[in-house]
Amino acid sequence: MNFLRKFTIILGGLCLVTMTMITCADVVMRYFFNDPIFGSGEMVQLLLSGAVFSGMFAVTLDRGHVNVSLFEPVLLTHFRRGYRSIFDTMSVIGVVSITAILGWKTWDLTIYPEETVVLQIPMILVVGSMTMLSFLSIIGALAAMWMDRGGMQPHSQQSFE
């Protein structure tokens, strides 16, 4: 699990660094040379999807989802086990739903192929990679349910790096 976690974090970081470099280069090219990088907006969009879905595995494994902690202290005090079970169940339902929707779109792209508008990259590569990274999140959610994290609370600062 640690190798997979590190790999997806590094992949997401590389996507973010590449997005930054493309954006900075595009701004310089646009304003100083009046010649923007062709397809830079589309490249940044594709890299953003890579960053989001790469990070999904680590976030799901670490139980690091964003939450509103209005009732959390009371629920953790009086209903700790049930709260954690509900949290884990909702997490699994969420990532399975996202993966199912992406899988359905990937299957649809095998029948009706599409390409990106500017760079004409086959969408099956983009959506297929998002589906695979999302599937890893299901594994991460299930692993988080079975791994004992030393009794840590969901969303505690010790549950992630």
| pLDDT for residue 161 | 42
What is the pTM (predicted TM-score) of this model?
0.83
Neighbours of 146 (CB within 10 A): 7
SS3 string, 85-145, reads HHHHHHHHHHHHHHHHHHHHHHHHHHHCCCECCCCCCEHHHHHHHHHHHHHHHHHHHHHHH
Q: 22 — phi, psi (to 5°)?
A: -65, -45
pLDDT category, 130, cuts 50, 70, 90? very high
Gap between the Cα atoms of 144 and 103, Å rounded: 23
Domain residue ranges in the chain: 2-159
In the chain, % of residues over pLDDT 70: 91
Q: Can you tell me the mean pLDDT for 102-122?
A: 97
Q: Can you tell me the mean pLDDT for 143-150?
A: 74
| pLDDT for residue 159 | 46
pLDDT category, 28, cuts 50, 70, 90? very high
Compute the half-sphere exposure of residue 125: CA atoms within 13 Å on the CB side of its CA: 7
Q: Can you tell me the mean pLDDT for 121-140?
A: 97
60: part of which helix (H) or strand (E)? Answer: helix 40-61
